[in-house]
Amino acid sequence: MTRLTCTIDTWPLASAFNISRGAKTEARTVTATLTNGSHVGQGECVPYLRYGENVEGVAETILSLGAEIEAGLTRTDLQLALPPGAARNALDCAFWDLEAKQAGQRIYERLRRSPPPPLTTAFSLSLDTPQKMAEAAAAARHRPLLKVKLGGNGDEARIKAIRAAAPEAKLIIDANEGWTKDNLAENVAAMAAFGVTLIEQPLPADNHDALRGFESPIPICADEACHGIASLAPLIGLYDAVNIKLDKTGGLTEALAMVRPARDMGFGIMIGCMVGTSLGMAPAMLLAEEHDIVDLDGPLWLKQDRKFGISYEDSSMNFPTADLWG
């Protein structure tokens, strides 16, 4: 019999993380744990208010399946039992971890894949004044890929200051829905002038029609507009790439299933994350073969990661041991 438990954990950040929708000084995660005899599987999620989620509600949703899991609900059953989102992500990843441990295999062996190679992740620069963002960029200028959080007014000054501070770094930007159709063209032109190579979610996901027919010199990536497989087709003609995050897809199972349809529709693929621990990053690393851009720097923002966390060497990250996951 498989038993389910769930915990809510708080992870203080090393510094405040600001985006266009606000700031956070801690990451709150929900961990699902499945225990069957001597085998234990875990999965982590980060509920996101933008999608109507909070940690208490997600934990309640996870625990509501306890009796069904004891009665034999499987990972396959889970895909229909819950919609895409944080709750399903934690349970889905916990099932994958438990299945691997029961089989005495690493998760990539069960997927008939090679061990994930070291990945180079983007490193995020939190939204702030141009001067403070330039200081952060200067401190991170040795990293090959910087992801810049922007938010509307003053973004040209921010990217100009960042480019001056980190002239060799590849830059991608994330507006987090902070631009409007009125400043879209102006902001895109400014990003192009300073060598930005990708723009993530410039307009609100529910008001992005201005992207249709807009000729951008820089590829535009859907984040808040992209969730599970069903969300892909409506994005054709609006975006050039999609950001696959397990907290949005509802776990590794649907994320793996999204890759081929996304490619077939012509989308580039970013593998992204919320700010969380290595337990939330490890499953996403299994999408390594499919990525164009990796953005899995969540643990780098924490004062302290989980035990047996992913080993980061600057921006290079290595798949963890089974002590953590998989």
Which pLDDT belongs to residue 15?
Answer: 86
Residue 128 in any domain: the answer is yes
Residue type, 308: F
Q: How many domains does the chain have?
A: 2
Residue at 212: amino acid letter = R
Q: Tally Cβ neighbours within 10 Å of residue 256.
A: 17
- Specify if 206 maps to a domain: yes
State whether 306 and 177 are in the same domain: yes
> What's the confidence (pLDDT) of residue 134?
94
Which of 56, 87, 110 finishes a domain? 110
Contacts 24+ apart (CB under 8 A), 63-66: 63/4, 63/6, 65/4, 65/91, 66/3, 66/4
Supply the DSSP string of 15-43, one letter for each residue: EEEEETTEEEEEEEEEEEEEEETTEEEEE
Q: Would residue 326 count as lying in a domain? A: no
Average pLDDT, the chain: 95
Q: Residues 56-72: pLDDT tens digits? A: 999 999 999 999 999 99
d(CA 116, CA 133): 32
Q: Is the pLDDT of residue 20 over 90?
A: no
pLDDT digits (tens, 9 = 90+) for 266-299: 999 999 999 999 999 999 999 977 889 999 999 9
Residue range of the domain that includes 140: 119-318
Where in the sequence numbering do the catalytic residues fall? Answer: 149, 245
- What pLDDT score was predicted for residue 45? 98
Q: State yes or no: pLDDT of 187 exceeds 70.
A: yes
